[in-house]
Amino acid sequence: MKILKLSKDKLDFFASVLQRFGEVHAPVEDNGEFVFRRLARWSEARLDYQRTILPLKKYFLPPRETLLEYRPGTGYVPAERDLEARLVLFGVHACDIYALNILDRVFTGRYADPYYETRRRNIAIIGIDCRPDERCFCRSMRADFVDRGFDLFFHDLGDAYLTIVGTALGDDMVLATGPLFSPVTAADIEEYKRRSAGKRAAFRLEVEIRDLPEIFEMEYDSGIWDELGERCLSCGSCSVVCPTCYCFDVHDEVELAGNGGRRVRTWDSCLFSTHALVAGGENFRKSRASRIKFRYYHKQRGFVAEYGRPSCVGCGRCIAACPVGIDITQVIDTLRGVLHAGPQ
């Protein structure tokens, strides 16, 4: 592992040279919120951002994409446009990188998704430190630190970034920028450790995930699910903003003239009333309570059984997005019988 230092006053030049490796996207402010977007100029980047509205899955699993097109005579033609676009995502928080590592298990495992895999290969990730706010509980979900899934990671040292080189591509980026980077000193390492401890101490929201799958198992018939079902609007906001919710729907759009069509994949949500609707009209999760219960069980229990850890990374987006104030940490605490004193 290579660890270097980059002075903050050189960051703009580093970002400029990165354009060799792809279109540079970074968090920018938009109406008081933050979104990842292509930079038209360096000053648009807001590396001090809190969470973005949408997570990075929008780059790897777009909200809507054409998978293939079909025409009479030529048959099916894969739609591969834009797949090969090379991007550099600059300023990604650890929890969002962790989320991508989780999505990798789903989309690059036994049933590999070539669209996702290609984008993952062509999109570079540059991580950056963050400070937790009142909705962050990534430390509880063990996602406040990542040791893989990025090409470079910048840890704030005050006037410089301690830079972890994560991949050969990251090393190429460092080499391409010539003398911009310098070796770390003993003082830099001490400062890194001091700030790292400070970040750990800054978390105000915590949940206990130890034995959580067992608690879920025991509370399968708890009345809390009906109570949540009464509050939940089934709007799907929580799953849209979740960095690891990956449910999608696939449908064919046939051109009215009958000369072909396309197969389209769009984001779906297990909160939607049609999510478990199958041919013949049967719906396996008719009630809102059953749908929100399914979402919690999939993320906190089913995913553990399949992949060894919950798929939640504690980014806090679902808490911020829920229009009726359903808070996952409070749900977990209620299941555990813990009186919650967190933010309302």
Handedness of CA 203, 26, 54, 309 (dihedral sign): negative
Contact flag: residue 259 with another protein (CB under 8 A)? no
Contact flag: residue 179 with another protein (CB under 8 A)? yes
**Interface with another protein (CB under 8 A), residue from 3, 13, 226, 262:** 13
Q: 252 in helix, strand or coil?
A: strand
Nearer to another protein, 179 or 281 (CB): 179
**Interface with another protein (CB under 8 A), residue from 4, 15, 152, 238:** 15
- Let me know: does 195 contact 333? Beta carbons within 8 Å: no
Smallest gap from residue 46 Cβ to another protein (A): 15
| Rounded Cα–Cα distance for residues 239 and 55 (Å) | 11
Nearer to another protein, 32 or 179 (CB): 179
Query: What is the 8-class DSSP label of residue 339?
Result: P
Nearest Cα neighbor of 50 from 319, 267, 340 is: 319
Interface pattern 20-49 for another protein (x via CB under 8 A): x--x---------------xxxxx------
- Let me know: does 196 contact 189? Beta carbons within 8 Å: no
Q: 165 in helix, strand or coil?
A: strand
Region label for 75, one of left (φ > 0), alpha (ψ between -120 and 50) or beta (otherwise): left
Cα 233 to its chain centre, rounded Å, is 23
Contact flag: residue 163 with another protein (CB under 8 A)? no
User: Which tokens go with 240?
Assistant: 């849209």
Q: Which stretch binds another protein (CB under 8 A): 107-115, 143-151, 174-182, 220-228?
A: 174-182
- Let me know: does 181 contact 18? Beta carbons within 8 Å: no
Nearer to another protein, 8 or 195 (CB): 8
Question: What part of residues 190-229 is at the interface with another protein (CB under 8 A)?
Answer: none
Contact flag: residue 16 with another protein (CB under 8 A)? yes
Smallest gap from residue 192 Cβ to another protein (A): 23
Number of residues in contact with another protein, rule: CB under 8 A?
A: 20
Query: What is the 8-class DSSP label of residue 283?
Result: B
Pairing of β 87-92 and β 123-128: parallel
Smallest gap from residue 178 Cβ to another protein (A): 5
Smallest gap from residue 7 Cβ to another protein (A): 9
Smallest gap from residue 26 Cβ to another protein (A): 11
Interface residue list for another protein (CB under 8 A): 10, 12-13, 15-20, 23, 39-43, 176-180
